[in-house]
Amino acid sequence: MLKPVDKINYRIVKELGVLSKKDNTSTELNLISYNDYKPKLDLRKWETKEDGTKFLQRGLTLTDAEAKELYKALETYLASVEVAKEVKEA
């Protein structure tokens, strides 16, 4: 049986990009280490308080293998969107 975690510690190893920002909430892609484990890609919403403190919101973490599969799927999707756009414009 899994033991509940008292506190999750995290460290942003590298900020990779901000995908969107609205008011005090942003969607960011970062490389994050949780509880001193190997860093993972992390896509998540963050809430920034008035004092500049950031709080984790809902998100998704990906291993390198999962990120590669997501990359392949996005390539396929974006290529089909681009083809559809070119057909519409013709």
What pTM did the predictor assign? 0.79
Across the range 58-76, mean pLDDT stands at: 95
Confirm if 9 and 32 have CB atoms less than 8 A apart. Answer: no
Q: Indicate the DSSP class of residue 8.
A: -
Q: Give 43's contacts (C-beta < 8 A, 6+ positions apart).
A: 19, 27, 28, 29, 59, 60, 61, 62
Tens digits of residue pLDDT in 5-56: 678 899 999 999 999 999 999 999 999 999 999 999 999 999 999 999 999 9
**What six digits make up the tokens of 72?**
């392949």
pLDDT of residue 90: 59
